[in-house]
Amino acid sequence: MSETDTKPAPKAVYVKSYGCQMNVYDSQRMADVMGAEGYREVATPEEADLILLNTCHIRERAAEKVYSELGRMRVLKDEAKAQGRQVLVGVAGCVAQAEGEEIVKRAKVVDLVVGPQSYHRLPDLIARAKARPGVVDTEFPVEDKFKALPAASEAKTRSRGLTAFVTVQEGCDKFCTFCVVPYTRGAEVSRPVAQVIAEAAKLAEAGVREITLLGQNVNAYHGTGPDGVEWTLAKLLYRLAEIPGVARLRYTTSHPREMTDDLIEAHRDLDTLMPYLHLPVQSGSTAVLKRMNRKHTRDDYFRLVDRIRQARPDIALSSDFIVGFPGETDADFADTMDLVRRVGFASAYTFSYSQRPGTPGAEMDGQLAEPLKTARLHELQALITAQQRAFQESLVGRVVDVLFEKAGRKPGQMVGRSPYLSPVQVIGPSSLAGTIVPVRITGAKTNSLDGDLVGADGDRRASDHMMTVHAAE
Ligand code: SAH
Ligand code: SF4
Ligand code: F3S
């Protein structure tokens, strides 16, 4: 027997993400923390010794999903036990933060509950849970979590692909009356500029070409710079654009109130900053916006969109909408439909209002019946889908830059992303991966585009400047 055969197999960790992109980022950090402890990351829970569910609490359905998943984990855990193997199950993320102790009481399968601010403590918590299941850590510690989290190895980063997330800001002080995030993620904290630059530089060295900066209110970023003063998101973006290899920058999610002049100017001046902006408005009714505590009116949003489009005429906008917020009348909903028609979105997420425990909205008078909410949701969704299709079709015949990532499903096919985030398929060599090349769009579906590679094409610039965003009625 060789020496390697006698070594115990390394432990394996499986992390499943629900909810937003920040959870995706956090899940990778959790895998990295455990990687530093000798755990390898696996793609299925069946192979794992440690299962972490990184949960979302934003709507009731998201939060409840965890419990059905835990039912499945109990079966896995019992099977492993029968084979003499100990499997630990941990609940992380926003349900962990919101429900804490309750989770252990409700689901005995859970060995560990860990809130988003304690991931750097995972090794210690796991050691404790192994000895005595039922460990709960939902504190908001004073130490800098990000500083304490290990960075992924270069090999690991490479295996994760050409695009990456970097959390630059976490938490929220806005307290929209429907939303749990200020309670699950805590107060707004910005990471220092130097830390963000170092992480981005490392990603770029490992081959990452596109970086998306994350924050619950990312445009409220105010991290301390190396010069000792606070930097805005715009200033950070200009600096990140200088890193060799960083070809594309994005940021999400923005709050309309934090779209400062310098950020709008960055969209005008910075080619690296992609012309696609997710700018949630939630409702088109000023009365509803007021009750939501969004602190802006519908006209503020129109004015803002005008300013952004003046700076960057080809920008594509996306948004989030909640229908059926308490007290929403037919006229309020008509205002939302009207806002969507007037703005014209390239895509948008639509949600039916969900009463969340502990939020002011849950206690408001005028809660709407489910069938009414559903009817409004469908009406809004139909309009958004039509706009999305119209936007995709407006790209047909145009030439757009595509960052190619991987082989497609069909032989000889490569897939990448347009500046507007839609997947683009072409027939082309696998050497395209990691490059950004012009593609003429030949066909559009609701969620993807087909195209042909363009050689040294003289008409490319001209066609780019002709771009307008068409909104469907
Ligand atoms: N920080 C972001 C979004 C956070 S949550 C922002 O400020 O916009 C993502 C989306 O979930 C929200 O934009 C909102 O549209 C939706 N959402 C949040 N709470 C909700 C609730 N109680 N019911 C339905 N949708 C909700
Ligand atoms: Fe939630 Fe509002 Fe904060 Fe966004 S800004 S995370 S919707 S409270
Ligand atoms: Fe969900 Fe928490 Fe993100 S509630 S949307 S996982 S911040």
- Give per-residue pLDDT as tens, 157-207: 888 889 999 999 999 999 999 999 999 999 999 999 999 999 999 999 999
The tokens describing 136, both together, are: 């709960």
Q: What pLDDT is recorded for position 10?
A: 80
Q: Name which residue sits closest to atom 2 of ligand 2, judged by CA.
A: 176
Residue pair 326/369 in contact (Cβ under 8 Å)? The answer is no
| pLDDT of the residue at 375 | 98
Contact residues for 43 (Cβ-Cβ < 8 A; gap 6+): 14
Strands in 150-274 per DSSP E: 163-167, 169-170, 189-190, 210-214, 248-252
Looking at residues 396-400, what average pLDDT do you find?
A: 97
Write the pLDDT tens digit of every residue in 72-110.
999 999 999 999 999 999 999 999 999 999 999 999 999
Region 201-222 average pLDDT: 96
User: Across the chain, how many H-helices and E-strands are there?
Assistant: 18, 19
| Nearest CA residue ID for atom 6, ligand 3 | 56
1, exposed or middle or buried, with CB in 10 Å at 0-12, 13-18, 19+? exposed
Percent of the chain past pLDDT 90, that is, above it, reads 88
For residue 187 and ligand 2, the question of a CB distance below 6 A is answered with no
Which residue has 């926003």 as its token pair?
A: 94
Q: From ligand 1's centre to the CA of 335, what distance in Å?
A: 19
Q: How far is ligand 2, taken at its centre, from the CA of residue 56, in Å?
A: 14
Judge if pTM exceeds 0.85. Answer: yes
Report whether residue 278 contacts ligand 3, using a CB cutoff of 6 Å: no
Sign of the torsion formed by the C-alpha atoms of 184, 136, 63 and 318? positive
Closest residue by Cα to atom 3, ligand 3, is 20
Ligand nearest to the CA of 279: 1
CA-based angle 454:455:460, to the nearest 5?
60
Q: Which ligand is nearest to the CA of 185?
A: 3
**Range 224-233 average pLDDT:** 97
Please write the tens of the pLDDT for every residue from 301-356.
999 999 999 999 999 999 999 999 999 999 999 999 999 999 999 999 999 999 99
Q: What DSSP character marks residue 224? A: B
Residue 293 CA: nearest ligand 2 atom is: 2
Q: Which ligand is nearest to the CA of 57?
A: 3
CB of 186 sitting under 6 A from ligand 2 = no
Q: Is the pLDDT of residue 456 over 80?
A: no
Among candidate residues 362, 385, 267, the one with its CA nearest the CA of residue 315? 267
Task: Identify the pLDDT of residue 470.
Answer: 35
Residues in the ligand 1 pocket, defined by CB under 6 Å = 58-59, 178-179, 181, 216-217, 253, 255, 280, 282, 320, 322, 351, 353-354, 356
User: With a 6 A CB cut-off, is 174 part of the ligand 2 pocket?
Assistant: yes
**Any atom of ligand 3 within 6 Å of the Cβ of 58:** yes
- Closest listed ligand to the CA of 280: 1
Answer whether 23 contacts ligand 3 (Cβ < 6 A).
yes
The mean predicted confidence, pLDDT, of the chain is: 93
Cα atoms in the Cβ-side hemisphere of radius 13 Å centred on 54: 23
Of residues 387 and 152, more confidence is placed in 387
**Per-residue pLDDT reduced to its tens digit, 113-139:** 999 999 999 999 999 999 999 999 999
Pocket lining: 241 vs ligand 3, CB cutoff 6 Å:
no
E-assigned strands of 255-301? 276-278
Closest atom of ligand 3 to CA, residue 58: 4
Compute the distance from residue 354 Cα to the ligand 1 centre, in Å: 10
Distance 198 CA to ligand 1 centre (A): 31
pLDDT of residue 464: 42
Distances (CA, A) of 301 to 227, 259, 264, 329, 365: 34, 10, 14, 20, 26
Q: Nearest ligand, CA of residue 184?
A: 3
Q: According to the model, what pLDDT value does residue 6 have?
A: 55
pLDDT in tens, 133-169: 999 999 987 777 888 888 788 888 888 889 999 999 9
Best of 95, 177, 179, 181 for a ligand 1 pocket test (most atoms within 8 Å of beta carbon) = 179
Across 240-269, average pLDDT: 97
Ligand 1 pocket: which of 168, 295, 320, 380 to mutate (most atoms <8 Å of CB)? Answer: 320
Res 7: pLDDT = 60
CA of residue 23 to ligand 1 center, whole Å: 15
Instruction: Calculate how far, in angstroms, residue 353's C-alpha sits from the geometric centre of ligand 1.
Output: 9
pLDDT of 35-78, one tens digit each?
A: 999 999 999 999 999 999 999 999 999 888 999 999 999 999 99
Contacts of 429 (CB under 8 A, 6+ apart): 414
Give 8's pLDDT tier (boundaries 50, 70, 90): low
- For ligand 2, say whether the CB of 176 is within 6 Å of any of its atoms: yes
Going from the Cα of 327 to the center of ligand 2, the distance in angstroms, rounded, reads: 20
